[in-house]
Amino acid sequence: MDVRQLYKEDQEYLACVEDILIHPVFRSMDGYIQHGKTTCREHCIQVSYMAYRICRENGWDYKAAARGGLLHDLFLYDWHAPVKERGHRLHGFTHPRTAAENAEKYFSITGKERQIILRHMWPLTPVPPATMAGMAVVWADKVCGFHETREGFWRKFADLFGRRTVF
């Protein structure tokens, strides 16, 4: 996915995130599947842009939402791999901290962007986002994740019952 082509009409979005989009570590996220057939990189781009648009339309911090959304799943491992390979359990609870640590290691992020990354799994993680930009990322993450998994679910359902889907 060439984001610059996809969002070329939205230069303000690109100005917020281009340093992240071109970075080799961010590009490496194409090597990991997030939901269904969607890579972590594609998922993060979709979450970022949706959260950015929500915040722009409501007068909230769209830059923090765009950047935090891009980096929210920067955990850099295959979470579908067996526990023995990835070295830990409970990915849903632990990956926000790993993503925040990686974001700080590879990018210059603000405290607000760090909090967005750390709290994006709310309510699975106990502390809610402190800002509306953070809530926009939480919401965008849930919506995008649902749509990314929906297609695979219905295909498996149809295969199980020997029917073609109409979805």
pLDDT band (50, 70, 90) for residue 6: low
Burial class (CB in 10 A: 0-12, 13-18, 19+), 144: buried
pLDDT tens per residue, range 84-112 = 665 666 656 678 999 999 999 999 999 99
Instruction: Tell me if 133 sits within 8 A of 111, measured CB to CB.
Output: no
27, pLDDT greater than 90: yes
pLDDT, tens digit, for every residue of 119-145? Answer: 999 998 889 999 999 999 999 999 999
Kindly report the average pLDDT of the chain as a whole number: 84
* Greater model confidence, 80 or 148: 148
Please state the domain extents for the chain. Answer: 3-161
The predicted pLDDT at position 90 comes to 67
Entry pTM:
0.83
Pick the CATH number of 3-161 from 2.60.110.10, 1.10.10.10, 3.40.50.150, 1.10.3210.10: 1.10.3210.10
